[in-house]
Structures are given as C-alpha cells and as structure tokens.
Amino acid sequence: MVNEQEFTIAAETAWCPGCGNFPLRKALSEALQEMDLKPSQVAIFSGIGQAAKVPHYIKTNGFNGLHGRSLPPAIGARVGNHKLKVIVESGDGCTYGEGGNHILHNIRRNPDLVHLVHDNQIYGLTKGQASPTSEESIKTGIQVEGTTSEPFKPVQFAVGMEASFVARSFVGRQDHLKEMIQRAMKHRGYALIDILQPCVSFNKINTYQWYDKRVYRLSEDYDPTNLDEAFKKSREWGDNIPIGVIYKNEKKTFRDRLLLEDDQPLVEKEFESGDADKIMEKFK
Amino acid sequence: MDFNLLVGGQAGQGLKTVNSILGKVLFREGFNIFSSSDFMSRIRGGHNFMQLRISDQKLYGPDNEIDLLIALDKKTAKIHKEQLKEDGIVLIDGKSEIIDSRAILIPASVIANDINPKGINTVFVGAALKMMGLDLENAEEILPDFFVDEILEDNIKLLRRGYKAVEKIYDNLKKNVTGKESEIFIDGNSALGYGALSGGLSFYSAYPMSPSTGIMNFLAQQQKDYDLVVEQAEDELAAVNMAMGGSYTGIRSMTGTSGGGLALMNEAIGMAGISEIPLVVADVQRPGPATGLPTRTEQGDLLFAVNTAQGEFPLMVIAPRDHKDLFYSSFRALNIADEYQIPVILLSDQFNADSSKNIPEFDFESLEIKRNLIKKADYGKKEYKRYEFTDDGISPRAYPGQLEDGLVLIDSDEHDEKGHIVEDGEMRKRMVDKRACKLEKLIEKDLNEPEYFGEEDIEYLLITWGSSYGPTREAFQLLQADGIKVGLLSFNDVWPLPKNKLKNLAERVELVTVEMNSTAQFKSLIASETLLDVEHDILKYSGRPFTGKEIYNRFLDEVIDNG
C-alpha cells in the first residue's frame, strides 16, 4: 500500500489562489501515485514561469532549468538513465514561444517522455502579456488593441507533425486529466498533453466558466490512430473544444535509434580509460 | 633538414585526401611533421591549400617558405609563387602553361584520363613521393583507408604511374630521420575528442559549426565501440541544455562549438554555475564577431569566455597549447568539472583543430577518472540535500534514482540546500559564498602554472596562451640561437589566472605577449589580475596562423628595435 501523500509536499507556493496549477498538480501527483511509482523514479524537467515551479511543489527529482529549455535537458536524461520516468512541464509561453524550436525537433526525435503544457493562454509571471496561444482579441498592457499575431495551435501543430501521442485536457475535469497523464505515461514515445487551465489573475477571457462551457470529451468510438480524422479533430476550437487523446502513433523512439548495445543505463556503466587506447591505431 | 610542401587547388578537388595520404606516408617514413590547412568557407571552387612541413627536428608550427609546391590548378602556382624558395619546385599538370622556370610538368590529366579521371590527385602523390626520394610501400598500404574495390585498384595504378612520370630530386631527406613507432599523427579536434572519450564521456550533444565539427565527427565514429551517444542538436541552446540534462543524471556530458555558438550557450553555462552541474564546453575559436571568418583562426574569445554569462559564478577556462595538450586537457576538464561541479570551457582554435602533428602515444596509465559522486552505501538513511553546505563548498553529488529516498532537485534560480527556490537575502549570500569557495580550492589544488622554457637569466619574456605557443616556441629557439636572452612562458590554464610563475619571472624583464587577436586580450587579463605592465605585444588577426619566423622577425623589429 502506497502512502497517500507520496508525491505531495507541504510547501507554500508562489501561485495565486485559484490558479489552474493547483488542480493540475493534484491530478499529476494522484496519477503518479496510482501508477505505483516512487518519487525517486521520476524526474520532472521544467523551464521558467509559474507552471515551471512545479518541481518545487511536488515530491520527485527535479530540474528547474532555463526559460524555454525544459525539453533539451530531458533528452540528456533519456541518454543518461532511461529507467527514470521523465516528465517535462512548463507553460505555454516557455514551451511554444521561447522553446518553440525544441518542441518541433523533439516530435521528430520521439523521446520516451511525457510533456505537460500548462496552457493558460497568457503570460502569468511577467504579469499578463499575450502568449503564443492567446486569442487575437485579448487586450493587455502591451497588446493594447489585441495581438499582432494569430494564436499558435499546439494540438493541430503536433498532429500535423504526426507526434507519437497528442492529447488535450482541462484542469476542470480532474479525472479526465489524471487519465490522460496515465495514458501518456504508459505510451512509449513522446506524449504531449496540452492542458487548458485558467489564469485567474490575468486572463479574463479564458476563465473556468469559458472552458467549462466549451470542452467536450471525445466519443468512445473516436479512433485516435486515424491521422485524417485526428487532423480534422485537432482543428476544432472555439465553441466546442475536444478533450482526450486526439492522435496516437506508436513508432521508433529516440532511444531505439541510438547505437547502444544493451539496456543498462549509461549512468551505471563502468569505464576504464585504458579501454580507449586501441583508437590510437587509427592515428599510426 | 626542414622541408615544406604545399598542396593547393580548388575546393572539391580532393585536396584533403592528397594531404591525408601524404601526411600519413611522411609520418610513417619517420619524419617529424606539422600539417596545417587553409580552407575557404565553400564546398566547390575557390582556392584552398594545405601545408606539410617535415623535419628531422621537432616541429611546432607551419612555415611559409615552400620547397615543393604541388599545384592542382594554375591558380595555386600563381598565388604561391612568391613563397617558393629559390631552389623550390612547382609540380604542375602538363597541360598547364609554364608560369615559372622552376616548374616540373607531369602529364597528370593524361594519366588520369587513361585510368580514372577523378583520381588525378593520386598521380601527384606518386610523383611527389618519387621526387622526395621515397618509395611507394607506405602509400600503397595507406590507400585502402581511403578507397575500396575498383577505385582502390585505379588509385594504386595512378600512384604508380605518377611515381614513374618524374625523376628523384631530393636525395637526402631521410638522412637523420629516426623511427616514430611510439608516436601518433593526429589532428587537434580528434585529440580533444579522444581525451574526452578517454575520460569516460557518455554524451556529446552539439550543433555543427566550423571549426569545431571535427570533434563531433571523431566522437560519432566511436559510438559503435563505446557506450557513447552523440546527438546533433537542433541548435546550440538545445546542445548545451541537453548536455546539462545528461550530467544531471550522472553521466559525463559535453558540448562543443565555436564563438557564435558559445554566445548562444552563455545563459546555460551560467546555469551550470549556479545549479552546480558539471559541464564541459569546447569553444574552437574562429575570427568573430558574428559569422566572422568561419574557417580561419583567431584567439579572440578569451575575455568573452572568461566573462561568459551574466552574474558571478565559478568557472574554469583551459586553453590547450598543442595536440598533446588537447588530449590531456579535455580529459582533465571532465575531472575538474566533476570535482568542483562547475562549468569548464576548453578554448581551442582553428589552428589547433585543423592541423595535425606527430606526438608521443598517449599515456593511458597516467589517466585517472575522478567522478566525485556519492557512494550509495555510504549514504544510509541520511537526508540527501543537493546543495548541502560543506567546508569547501562542494556538496555531495547524487544522481536521480541513485538513492531510494533521496531526491535530486536542481535549480537555475537561487535556492536553498535542498534546491528549492529562495528569495531570502541571507541564503543568497551563503550560496554565492559557497560557490565562490569552490574556486579557491581549485586554485590551491588543481590550477596549473604555465610552462616555462628558457634560462634563468633573461631580458625578455615571451608570454603565450593556448595555441600561440607553437609558433612562438619556434621563434624562441631562433632568438636564443641569436644569443638573445629570452624565455617563454606558455599558459594553459587561463582562468583563474595562475600568477606565481609569472610574477616571479616578471621582475626586471620586459614582457611580450604573443596573441592571435587585435586587442591583446591576454595582456589585459594579466594587467587586471596581477597589475603587471606588459610592455609589448605581438598580435595577428588576419585569420591566418603565425609562423615561427614571422614572430622572430617581429620580435626583432617591434621589441628590440623599438625597445
């Protein structure tokens, strides 16, 4: 029997009361706990922002890195110790803005990890500027008459790239979110979940109520392995927002392509310098 | 004997193959050899050349006075005519017009058209070997490293035809040459990569950038035989952050780039500083700023490397002086990064990277890997804190999953002993002091003083850092032979700056830095760190390397005559 409090920490957070990060954290720690994992078997990699503080407020190993760079160190971790359960977690700004190039290439790389994006469609920690996923009509101190760009569409983008696992969930649907996280954890390959969550301090458009009215669960007979259907589904946004596993495609992972010979984590391998002396022959 | 060959032609003419084959043959013949290259940043056309200097004496760098000019095109003969010694020879294809009385024509294209038109270069190799009084045995042994099947057969024929097509000219080259059985002939990038591999490197993530890509090439080739992963990252930001992720999980990880990439990696190197993640970054310098001269050489990144990233954190910068040193320095950089849990920058440059030299075999017995990770058995039930305060500032380092109950939390924010974000002023101060304290220990225990060459009684002290050592070493010998009382101080560790030897030698002598940059950066560093006044500097920033004679002449003009 696992301890009920296995993944939670009694720490004061830097999050606002009512922040969508709270229910997200709850769903994550419950998901991990139900999967019979121990905190030392999990490592969370994050960037910078309010969402990126998760490693401080949950009991796992943590790498709270640089803005936009939540994914790259997770790749290093996949190389060093593939027995660790790797979760990448950051906000929409950090992930889709500052770190945009990394998501693109890690869909190609297909590392076995779970990528949780706290998508509140606004910049929280810098006090309310438009994020890549903000609606065009949003008015902020910077975007005085709305944004100058169209919103980035993460789910459509990821399906378009034929990412290995693409899901959307909403923090207002706890069980659904927990289920998505668990399915992503069990999936072999790169698993993205774009998680809708309100920013109670700065986003006055996309509130709990706004999402609550619009999200709907994919029907039982929806087939996430059908790319054409998935692409169609990924384009739904506005009055009706589908949540669930939009697309799934089991394929070769990053580690499958490495030239490593066995399953022993690199960190546990022994090495003697003298093993390298035979290379000198090449320079004779 | 000091004999200088230059092979020139257009990009895409297979110059590198000629150079590699000749280089290896001459090395196996027992010559001391220094091979350097001058490339344009293009794939086809233009003018590229390689220099192969051979001698029965030790060599430290290139020489620009040519004995044998192998011109794969007419342009080469024209461009390098002025460098040809009076008794020098130009070897050129028979259908070219004779532009110099010293030209020897060889019907290379006729021979090649007979056998394989793409193999014209090999005809020149055969001819050059004959002229130099060498036989074909080594070349025929080496060709299979470059060609296979029918192409190999063609090349052996081409080699033999080239050999027959000319007469022997130099009789005496091998007179005082001794065997090089216990030596290797290696390029700088391979030596740097090899040192890291020998240090147990498990992960190299990088983005291709001249002139650093050779490190990645070398390591990528070793993946099949070693537990090593080489990943081509999407950009330098990813490359350095991937390496940090690898290091966090306990494996030795490294990245490499040139100045432009180092600029992109700056924030992450600062993070390695504050989050105390061991990280080795090789900066193979090229002339900057921005794109600069991609395939040329310079030592322009010194102060940039020393001042890498915003904020204050412990950092070490090592500038390997030559090929032997590149190997041992990268091995050592991994040890120091682990020992002190800091970022270490290896400052190489294109001159180091793309040149090849014969050096003694590496001494693997002398290498000792020091990981400085905790041992699980020693830890028991004690609570693990990644940033635990200790006397020397170095906290016990575990990797995630190593301890069943211990979690490893690292942070780019200021943090407490457990790695949690703090804003508390007192904790901030303690953490800054903790990190700084590690550097004090490094200075005391692991900083290498520069190497000194020369007598005790000197009037001038030549000071070099990194690769300017080679040509300066040659100049130093020329100056000594002239009876000038000169010493040479060659820095390898440049940050923190080792001061003792310099301060001791600096009394009553005139100091001269020799640097490949335009602002005498090392002179500034010495001034700011030691308050010593460096009277002279010999600088070069054309993107082309120094030669020993050039430094010798400039020393006479700029230091002695203006002294």
- Model confidence at B12, pLDDT cuts 50, 70, 90, reads confident
Residues of B whose CB is below 8 A from A266: 202-203, 227, 229, 251
Name every residue whose Cβ is closer than 8 Å to that of residue A189 and which is 6 or more positions away in sequence: A110, A111, A112, A164, A165, A250, A251, A253
Q: What is the mean pLDDT of chain B?
A: 95
Classify strands B252-257 and B201-206 as parallel, antiparallel or unpaired.
Answer: parallel
Given a cut of 80, whether residue A261 has pLDDT beyond it is: yes
pLDDT at A164 > cutoff 70: yes
A42 to chain B nearest CA, in Å? 8
* Band of pLDDT at residue B354, cut at 50, 70 and 90: very high
End-to-end CA distance of chain B: 33
Per-residue pLDDT band at A121 (split at 50, 70, 90): very high
Contact B249, B400 (CB under 8 A): yes
3-state secondary structure of B254: strand
Contacts of A45 in chain B (CB under 8 A): 245
Is residue B95 over pLDDT 90?
A: no
What sign has the CA pseudo-torsion A64, A65, A67, A68? negative
DSSP letters, A46-82, are E-SSSGGGGGGSBSSEEEE--TT-SHHHHHHHHHH-T
Q: How far is B204 from chain A (nearest CA, A)?
A: 10
Residues of B in contact with A76 (CB under 8 A): 203, 205, 241-249, 253
Residue B405 in contact with partner chain A when CB distance is under 8 A: yes
Give one DSSP letter per residue of A131-198, joined into a string.
-TT--TT---SSSBTB-SSPPP-HHHHHHHTT-SEEEEEETT-HHHHHHHHHHHHHSSSEEEEEEE--
Tens-digit pLDDT profile for residues B248-307: 999 999 999 999 999 999 999 999 999 999 999 999 999 999 999 999 999 999 999 999
Q: CA end-to-end span of chain A, whole Å?
A: 62
Facing B197 at nearest CB: one of A56, A83, A276: A276
The tens digit of pLDDT for each residue in B417-463 reads 999 999 999 999 999 999 999 999 999 999 999 999 999 999 999 99
Q: What is the pLDDT of residue B39?
A: 82
Q: Which of B241, B338, B358 to mutate to test the interface with A (most CBs of A within 10 A)?
A: B241
Does pLDDT of A1 surpass 60?
Answer: no
Interface size, chain A vs chain B, as Cβ–Cβ contacts under 8 Å? 195
* Inter-chain touch B412–A65, beta carbons under 8 Å: yes
Task: Report the percent of chain B where pLDDT is more than 90.
Answer: 90
Amino acid code (one letter) for A251:
K
Measured between CB atoms, does B171 come within 8 Å of chain A?
A: no
Contacts of B317 (CB under 8 A, 6+ apart): B302, B305, B306, B344, B345, B347, B493, B494, B495
Count CB atoms within 10 A of the CB of residue B263.
17
- CA distances to B325, B331, B355, B440, B474 from B492, in Å: 8, 14, 18, 18, 18
Is the model's pLDDT at B562 over the cut of 90?
Answer: no
Return the structure tokens found at A121: 């469609």
Instruction: Flag whether residue A201 sits within 8 Å of chain B, measured between CB atoms.
Output: no
Domains, chain A: 21-283 (3.40.50.970)
pLDDT of residue B98: 65
Report the C-alpha gap between B555 and B478 in whole angstroms: 11
CATH topology of domain B186-366: Rossmann fold (3.40.50)
Q: Cα–Cα distances in Å, from A107 out to A114, A163, B84, B106?
A: 12, 5, 56, 56
Predicted pLDDT of residue B128 = 96
Is A279 close to B194, i.e. CB distance below 8 A?
yes
Q: What's the whole-number mean pLDDT along residues A264-273?
A: 97
**Which residue from A14, A71, A76 is facing B203, i.e. has the nearest CB?**
A76
A266 and B421 in contact by Cβ < 8 A?
no
Chain A nearest CA to B439, separation (Å)? 23
Between CA B522 and CA B345 the distance in angstroms is 16
What are B304's two structure tokens?
Answer: 């940039």
Task: Pick the residue of A29, A32, A37, A40 with the most B CBs within 10 A to test the interface with B by mutation.
Answer: A40
Q: Does B414 touch chain A (CB under 8 A)?
A: no
Q: Are B281 and B259 in contact (CB under 8 A)?
A: no
- Residue contact A64–B406, C-beta within 8 A: no
- One-letter amino acid for residue B54 of the chain: I
The answer to whether B214 contacts chain A (CB < 8 Å) is no
Which chain A residue is nearest to residue B409, measuring alpha carbons? Answer: A62
CA distances from B293 to A244, B38, B209 (A): 52, 12, 12
Q: What is the DSSP letter of A213?
A: H
Residue of A nearest to B411 (CA): A64
Instruction: Please give the structure tokens belonging to residue B545.
Output: 């390397």
Fold of B2-164: Pyruvate-ferredoxin Oxidoreductase; domain 3 (3.40.920)
Specify the DSSP element, H or E, that contains B526: helix B521-530
CA distances for B265 relative to A181, B209, B268, B271, angstroms: 33, 13, 5, 10
For the domain bounded by B451-560, which CATH number is listed?
3.40.50.920
Note whether B376 contacts A: Cβ–Cβ < 8 A: no
CA distance B42 to chain A (A): 27
Highest mean pLDDT among B7-21, B86-100, B209-223: B209-223
CB-based contact, B64 to chain A, within 8 Å: no
Q: Rounded CA gap, A206 and B200, in Å?
A: 51
* Cβ B495 vs Cβ B313: under 8 Å: no
Stretch A216-239: mean pLDDT: 97
DSSP per-residue codes, B71-88: ESSHHHHHHHGGGEEEEE
Taking only residues 229 to 268 of chain B, the set having a beta carbon closer than 8 angstroms to any beta carbon of chain A reads: 229, 231, 233-235, 237-251, 253, 267-268
Pick among B20, B181, B228, B248 to test the A interface (most A CBs inside 10 A): B248
Report strand pairing: B66-71 vs B2-11: parallel
Per-residue tokens: B431? 């953490």
Rounded to the nearest 10 degrees, the angle between the axes of helix B120-131 and helix B149-164 is 40
Q: How confident is the model at residue B378 (pLDDT cuts 50, 70, 90)?
A: confident
B40 falls in which pLDDT band (50, 70, 90)? confident
Predicted local confidence at residue B531, as pLDDT: 96
Bridge partners (DSSP) listed for residue A86? A43
**Distance, CA of B104 to CA of B98 (rounded, Å):** 9
Q: Is the pLDDT of residue A38 over 60?
A: yes
| Length reported for chain B | 563
**Contact A81/B at CB under 8 A:** yes
For residue A119, list its beta bridge partners: A196
Strand intervals (E) in B94-208: 103-106, 183-187, 201-206
C-alpha of A25 from chain center: 13
Chain B residue closest in CA terms to A41:
B401
* B465-524 pLDDT per residue, tens: 999 999 999 999 999 999 999 999 999 999 999 999 999 999 889 999 999 999 999 999
The arithmetic mean of pLDDT across residues A200-221, rounded, is: 96
Q: Does A2 have pLDDT greater than 70?
A: no
pTM: 0.97
Q: How many CB atoms lie within 10 A of CB B37?
A: 23
Q: What pLDDT score does B542 carry? A: 97
User: pLDDT value at position A215?
Assistant: 98
B330 in A contact zone (CB under 8 Å)? no
Q: Which of residues 91-150 of A touch B (CB under 8 A)?
A: 101-102, 104-105
For residues A58-93, b (16+ Cβ closer than 10 Å) or e, as one string?
Answer: bbbbbbbbbbbbbbbbbbbbbbbbbebbbbbbbbbb
Which H or E run includes A201?
Answer: none
Contact B410, A64 (CB under 8 A): yes
Within the 19-48 window of chain B, which residues sit less than 8 Å (CB to CB) from chain A? 28
* Angle between the N-to-C axes of helices B188-198 and B213-222, in degrees from 0 to 180, rounded to the nearest 10: 50
Q: Closest to A279 (Cβ–Cβ): which among B222, B408, B412?
A: B222
**Cβ-defined contact of A75 to B238 (cutoff 8 Å):** yes
Mean pLDDT within B34-63: 91
**A25-29, A135-139, A230-234, B379-383: which range is least confident on average?**
B379-383
Residue found by looking up tokens 């006075």 in the block: B65
Residues of A (220-279) whose Cβ lies below 8 Å from B: 258-261, 266-267, 269, 271, 273-277, 279
Tokens representing residue B426 in the block: 């007192």
- Spell out the domain ranges in chain B: 2-164, 186-366, 376-445, 451-560
Give yes or no for A46 touching B (CB within 8 A): no
Give B528-552 pLDDT, tens digit per residue: 999 999 999 999 999 999 999 999 9
* Same fold: B2-164 with B186-366: no
Structure tokens at A171: 């923090």
Which residue in B has a C-alpha nearest to residue A14's C-alpha? B421
In this predicted structure, the answer to whether residue B99 has a pLDDT above a threshold of 80 is no
Reply yes or no: is the peptide bond before residue B211 cis, omega within 30 of 0: yes
